[in-house]
A and B are shown apart, each in its own frame.
Chain A
Amino acid sequence: MSLRASRRKLPGSPRSSRRNASRVMRSALCAATLLALAVCVEVVAADMNKVVRHVFPAAEEGFDPAAAHDLYSGTVEQAIFETLLTYDYLARPSKLVPLAAQSLPEVSDGGRSYTFRVRPGIYFSPDAAFKGKKRELVAEDYAFSLKRLVDPKIRSPWAWLLEGKIIGLDELAAAAKKSGKFDYDARLPGLEVVDRYTLRIRLKQPDYDLSYVLAHEPTSAVAREVVETYADVGGRVMANPVGTGPYRLANWIRSSKIFLEANPEYRGFTWNFKAGSDPEDARIVAEMKGKMMPQVGRVEISIMEEDQSRLLAFQNGELDLMNLEGPLAPMVMNGASLSGEMRKKGVKLSRFVDPELSYHYWNMTDPVVGGLSKEKIALRRAMAMAYDVDEEIRIVRNGQAIEAQYPIPPGVVGNDPAYRSSVKHDATSANALLDRFGYKKGPDGWRTLPDGKPLVLRYASRPDSLGRQQDEMWKKALDSISIRMEVQKDKFTELLKLEKQCRLQMRTASWIADYPDGDNFMQLLYSKNIFQSNNACATIPEYDKLYEQSIRIPAGPERDRLYHEMARIIETYAPWRLGISRYRNMLIQPRVLGYKKHPILHSEWQYIDVDTTGKGG
């Protein structure tokens, strides 16, 4: 439930995103994660000679967790600041583990009350703002940081994470809007600082997603002294990040270079993650197990906007890690593996399916394709069957995607890899279905509506080459069932606007997990989300009923059973044709040890090591 304010949609490039919630409350997991993050009392091991060179394809905004909105700022924030919770480095699907908290929260009052205990003995990195004193991280810092998200002066893009949830917080924000001053000293019933280390969050209604929110970097702890010392007129602290995390900002050349170095005050931890089913995991565990973390002393991030320049820099050994975006993949990859040249150099690949889904939707309120009458369902299902996902993957996506069988993609809680969709590419059946329901072919060879009126589909896409390829895919599909198609071209933002008003007829949309829970995908067809995220504008009573049941129960087999039925409803009523989930390909130089791209976490520098002996390359 909830988390349904501003959802991010991706134009093309996969954007690892955010948000969070907790359904992982099994005590067995807690035990395992405590082990993994055992506090270490020895001196921090980071070696300043160990450097990781990373690249961003777009510039960062700045490093205020409450104010920066882009993925790249978020990546750096994750290395500098700490949230209460985080994700296990190797566990797939993503599993919540405590970070600054001692353990996963105690949830009581039927999902309305969350109690966190902040781990004692965590210190902020030294900064002039603390006037030479050692500054410990306390529960009050989290209460302060959460309040910042709704401060109207800061205009945080992440306000929706908390809006309408915490008792008293919205009222405080409304009062601040009126008075022009946000009262950070106000005691809220919903954000109770029980003692120095204990924070109790009380919610207006049960919410199983709050833990995911608290693993998301906008909710990281910032120190009030730092904000008061450095804040600009908007109350933002973009250039002076002071956190408790493994790294601190050493030098920053805006939109060009970001230098991080190990935080000397960081407590460190022993690398002790459990290998999953991925065969690569065993190697990673062998490389890393038992090491004091962080090992890497410095991180250098360059910003290179051109695809080609990034690849060339990587090939010249100027970069250690690089995300292989979009059209670059076929240049260094041969299907699922690296090309011979890269392999000879010892370059490794971290490849997994992004927690994203592309789907083709029909506007369910449209007079031509919408509605729940049988001939409309038949029309949509025929179109769904005419579309050849396999060809899209081979030709348009160059093999860098998998067919989506289930509305929840891999890596997200609720995904069922064994589930098989009943929708198959089968133009013969599609034609038979249309014949059965009276979509007769006219004298010109194109089908008409059962009442004899002309039938023309309007497919909306962007005016770029991918848009053209999608046009061609659908044109081929609809030609195979003799349905006439025309194309509506518009800019991406314009399409999103029209789609929110239910004014498009048909489009291919993408959705990436905001938080790794199936609810984030299943809510896309809930009728109360029309004009927000339900871009098919679908109202299917059976689906709504099941969805409302599903949000009342935590993740588990019971909810999966509901999700299975909902998936089948999507297939039978065909508001969507499921498309694909794309692969993410991360290139890794041989000298980097223990690297595995996490589907939700943005930065992995604190979990990896660099081989400085030179034998790796």
Chain B
Amino acid sequence: MPFDKPQHVISPSLWALAWKRLVASRVAMVSLGIVAAFLMLIALSASGLIAKDWARETGVNYAPPSFLGEDIEQAGQPAAPGGPISASDKPTELPIQDPLADAIADIRGEKKAPGSEAPSGESQTVDPLADVMADIRAKGTQATVAETRASTLPFGADKWGRDVLKKTIKGSETSIFVGLAAAFVATLLGTVFGAVAGYYGRWLDDFFNWFYSVFTAIPYLLLILAVAAVLQQKGTLTIILILGLTGWTGTFRLIRGEYLKHKGREYVQAADAIGASNGRRMFVHIFPNVSHVVLVQLSIYTVAFIKAEVILSFLGFGVPVDVVSWGSMLNEAQNELILGKWWQLAAAGTAMALLVTAFSLFTDELRDALDPKLK
């Protein structure tokens, strides 16, 4: 009988199949391209190659975008104060006595500037720094030449005259970094908790379920605000922790379900039979089979947390004052809109809408690609 030796067939892995399906989808590729472009942008900005000087005030206050042309009203106003001090601005003359003037002059080995000591009138007012100040003033405090500021910028300027384009890039860096990092923290927590609860069951399961119920019983935004109010300390790290520590519940439930399902499967029993430890069974045997769920969760969270950061910053609990994010830009836009300065809102809003939409579409496609049963 003819006997055909069976060929050794390498069946493509889940990931390879998923990638093939992903490449086939045009939506997935376009959105992946946009997300990748944003990631490139923030990598460049984080390394200081672009938008490093976002805080420099390069334009006049509220400089409009170039295509709108110069703001006539604004142009009339001085870009920076520091003009000549008019006579009426001179401080009111008051007799000032400085008992320390001798000591200071002594220390400096100088002669007292004439006139630094006021006639010992009835005045008791004493300026302990009179001498130093007089000296500093005498050395000349020629107002630093006011740097020339552009009257228009490509995407306009904010109220201090900072370039909105650079601000948006820097803001993207903060917002996306916060979103990614917080999503990583939340997914990690959710996965570990879910794995432990689902795998071990019994009282550990009960404990984590109770924990989960407590977290989900509180309205999400309130929970975030409460944690933010308690933590006080402001900073990017704080926001990541707030979002990460409150956001793990969804992943927890999914992963716990997966582990409940998988722990009774034959391959796990087989692993048990060859003496694999609990930890090995949980993370080496079961985890790869649920990792696609984790990946999808990660990307869903990234989108959600970018939005959450925006909300937090908008409400004033967000990034500290020397950091810019999309949320803080939108917050500023509130007051600017009343003045008719729309460009900061437009820039931050467009950037956020673009990234969030692309990321969401990509996540959708990723989920489809990773779940063969859907096709």
Which one of A17-25, A93-101, A230-238, A416-424 is at the B interface?
Answer: A416-424
Q: What is the CB-to-nearest-CB distance from B337 to chain A, in angstroms, rounded to a whole number? A: 10
In the docked arrangement, what's the CA distance between A432 and B136, Å? Answer: 7
In the docked arrangement, what's the CA distance between A422 and B92, Å? Answer: 7
Q: What is the CB-to-nearest-CB distance from A369 to chain B, in angstroms, rounded to a whole number? A: 15
Known: A429-B136, A463-B316. A472 touches B338 (CB 8 A): no
Looking at A398, A463, A464, A485, the one whose CB has the most chain B CB atoms below 10 A away is: A463
Select from chain B the residue with minimum beta-carbon distance to A437.
B132
Known: A327-B338, A472-B160, A487-B320. A572 touches B128 (CB 8 A): yes
Interface residues in A52-84 by Cβ distance below 8 A to B read none
Select from chain A the residue with minimum beta-carbon distance to B85.
A424
Known: A395-B159, A465-B332. A489 touches B316 (CB 8 A): yes
Contact pick for B129, options A374, A398, A428, CB 8 Å:
A374
Interface pair A565/B132, CB less than 8 Å apart? no
Interface pair A565/B81, CB less than 8 Å apart? no
Contact residues in A for B132 (Cβ distance below 8 Å)? 378, 433, 436
Tell me whether B289 is interfacial, beta carbon within 8 Å: no
In the docked arrangement, what's the CA distance between A372 and B335, Å? Answer: 40
Contact residues in A for B322 (Cβ distance below 8 Å)? 475
Contact residues in A for B234 (Cβ distance below 8 Å)? 486-487, 489
Interface residues in B309-367 by Cβ distance below 8 A to A read 315-317, 320-322, 328, 331-332, 334-335, 338-339
Select from chain B the residue with minimum beta-carbon distance to A419.
B92
Chain A interface SS verdict (over half): helix
Tell me whether B148 is interfacial, beta carbon within 8 Å: no
Tell me whether B221 is interfacial, beta carbon within 8 Å: no
In the docked arrangement, what's the CA distance between A490 and B316, Å? Answer: 10
Select from chain A the residue with minimum beta-carbon distance to B62.
A395
Q: What is the CB-to-nearest-CB distance from A462 to chain B, in angstroms, rounded to a whole number? A: 8
Contact residues in A for B206 (Cβ distance below 8 Å)? none
Contact pick for B92, options A486, A564, A569, CB 8 Å:
A564
Known: A468-B331, A489-B316, A568-B96. A395 touches B125 (CB 8 A): no
Interface size classification for chain B = 35 or more
Select from chain A the residue with minimum beta-carbon distance to B313.
A468
In the docked arrangement, what's the CA distance between A80 and B235, Å? Answer: 53
Interface size classification for chain A = 35 or more
Q: What is the CB-to-nearest-CB distance from A503 to chain B, in angstroms, rounded to a whole number? A: 13
Which one of B137-145, B271-279, B294-302 is at the A interface?
Answer: B137-145
Interface pair B328/A546, CB less than 8 Å apart? no
Contact residues in B for A422 (Cβ distance below 8 Å)? 91-92
Tell me whether A545 is interfacial, beta carbon within 8 Å: yes
Q: What is the CB-to-nearest-CB distance from A323 to chain B, in angstroms, rounded to a whole number? A: 17
Select from chain B the residue with minimum beta-carbon distance to A432.
B136
Contact pick for B127, options A328, A418, A564, A572, CB 8 Å:
A572
In the docked arrangement, what's the CA distance between A564 and B96, Å? Answer: 12
Select from chain A the residue with minimum beta-carbon distance to B132.
A436
Contact residues in B for A487 (Cβ distance below 8 Å)? 234, 320-321
Tell me whether A500 is interfacial, beta carbon within 8 Å: no
Interface pair B124/A545, CB less than 8 Å apart? yes
Interface residues in A317-358 by Cβ distance below 8 A to B read 327-328, 330-331
In the docked arrangement, what's the CA distance between A212 and B90, Å? Answer: 35
Q: What is the CB-to-nearest-CB distance from A329 to chain B, in angstroms, rounded to a whole number? A: 9
Tell me whether A377 is interfacial, beta carbon within 8 Å: yes
In the docked arrangement, what's the CA distance between A425 and B83, Å? Answer: 11
In the docked arrangement, what's the CA distance between A388 and B144, Å? Answer: 14
Interface string of B113-136 (1 = CB under 8 A from A): 000000000011111111011001
Q: What is the CB-to-nearest-CB distance from B110 to chain A, in angstroms, rounded to a whole number? A: 13
Interface residues in A276-319 by Cβ distance below 8 A to B read none
Interface string of B68-79 (1 = CB under 8 A from A): 000000000100
Q: What is the CB-to-nearest-CB distance from A400 to chain B, in angstroms, rounded to a whole number? A: 12
Interface pair A542/B321, CB less than 8 Å apart? no
Interface pair B61/A394, CB less than 8 Å apart? yes
Known: A395-B160, A420-B89, A424-B85. A568 touches B136 (CB 8 A): no
In the docked arrangement, what's the CA distance between A388 and B161, Å? Answer: 15
Tell me whether B88 is interfacial, beta carbon within 8 Å: yes
Q: What is the CB-to-nearest-CB distance from A471 to chain B, in angstroms, rounded to a whole number? A: 4
Contact residues in A for B81 (Cβ distance below 8 Å)? 388, 390-391, 425
Contact residues in A for B160 (Cβ distance below 8 Å)? 395, 472, 476
Tell me whether A488 is interfacial, beta carbon within 8 Å: yes
Contact residues in A for B125 (Cβ distance below 8 Å)? 542, 565, 568-569, 572
Tell me whether A127 is interfacial, beta carbon within 8 Å: no
Contact residues in B for A462 (Cβ distance below 8 Å)? 316
Interface string of A463-491 (1 = CB under 8 A from B): 11101110110011000000001111110
Tell me whether A202 is interfacial, beta carbon within 8 Å: no
Q: What is the CB-to-nearest-CB distance from A525 to chain B, in angstroms, rounded to a whole number? A: 14
Interface pair B128/A568, CB less than 8 Å apart? no
Interface pair B129/A381, CB less than 8 Å apart? yes
Contact residues in A for B137 (Cβ distance below 8 Å)? 429
Tell me whether A426 is interfacial, beta carbon within 8 Å: yes
Tell me whether B13 is interfacial, beta carbon within 8 Å: no
Interface string of A376-419 (1 = CB under 8 A from B): 01100100000010110011101000000000000000000011
In the docked arrangement, what's the CA distance between A489 and B232, Å? Answer: 7
In the docked arrangement, what's the CA distance between A429 and B82, Å? Answer: 13
Contact residues in B for A328 (Cβ distance below 8 Å)? 338
Q: What is the CB-to-nearest-CB distance from B183 to chain A, in angstroms, rounded to a whole number? A: 25
Contact residues in B for A468 (Cβ distance below 8 Å)? 316, 321, 328, 331-332
Contact residues in B for A372 (Cβ distance below 8 Å)? 128
Known: A395-B160, A564-B94, A572-B126. A327 touches B335 (CB 8 A): yes
Interface pair A465/B335, CB less than 8 Å apart? yes
In the docked arrangement, what's the CA distance between A592 and B141, Å? Answer: 52
Contact pick for A429, options B124, B130, B141, CB 8 Å:
B141
Select from chain A the residue with minimum beta-carbon distance to B334.
A465
Interface pair B139/A432, CB less than 8 Å apart? yes
In the docked arrangement, what's the CA distance between A388 and B339, Å? Answer: 22
Select from chain A the residue with minimum beta-carbon distance to B144.
A428
In the docked arrangement, what's the CA distance between A367 and B88, Å? Answer: 37
In the docked arrangement, what's the CA distance between A532 and B322, Å? Answer: 33
Interface string of B45-66 (1 = CB under 8 A from A): 0000000000000000100000
Interface pair A331/B320, CB less than 8 Å apart? no
Contact residues in A for B126 (Cβ distance below 8 Å)? 542, 569, 572
Select from chain A the residue with minimum beta-carbon distance to B126.
A542
Contact pick for B321, options A377, A475, A572, CB 8 Å:
A475
Q: What is the CB-to-nearest-CB distance from A346 to chain B, in angstroms, rounded to a whole number? A: 24
Contact residues in B for A489 (Cβ distance below 8 Å)? 232, 234, 316-317
Interface pair A433/B136, CB less than 8 Å apart? yes
In the docked arrangement, what's the CA distance between A391 and B320, Å? Answer: 21
Contact pick for B315, options A396, A463, A469, A475, CB 8 Å:
A463
Known: A378-B132, A468-B331. A546 touches B124 (CB 8 A): yes
In the docked arrangement, what's the CA distance between A35 and B128, Å? Answer: 52
In the docked arrangement, what's the CA distance between A569 and B90, Å? Answer: 17
Known: A394-B61, A420-B88. A488 touches B77 (CB 8 A): no
In the docked arrangement, what's the CA distance between A426 and B91, Å? Answer: 14
Select from chain A the residue with minimum beta-carbon distance to B139.
A432
Q: What is the CB-to-nearest-CB distance from A557 to chain B, in angstroms, rounded to a whole number? A: 14
Looking at B92, B160, B328, the one whose CB has the most chain A CB atoms below 10 A away is: B92
In the docked arrangement, what's the CA distance between A328 and B337, Å? Answer: 11
Contact pick for B339, options A330, A377, A465, A490, CB 8 Å:
A330
A-B contact list, 17 entries, CB within 8 Å? A374-B100, A388-B81, A395-B61, A420-B88, A422-B91, A422-B92, A428-B143, A433-B136, A436-B136, A462-B316, A465-B334, A472-B321, A475-B322, A487-B321, A564-B92, A569-B126, A572-B126
Which 7 residue pairs are nearest across A and B when measured between Cβ atoms? A463-B316, A422-B91, A471-B321, A572-B127, A390-B81, A565-B125, A432-B136
Binding site for A on B (CB under 8 A): 61, 77, 81-82, 85, 88-92, 94, 96, 100, 123-130, 132-133, 136-137, 139, 141-144, 159-160, 232, 234, 315-317, 320-322, 328, 331-332, 334-335, 338-339
Extra A-B contacts (4), CB below 8 Å, given A330-B339, A420-B91: A328-B338, A421-B92, A428-B144, A565-B94
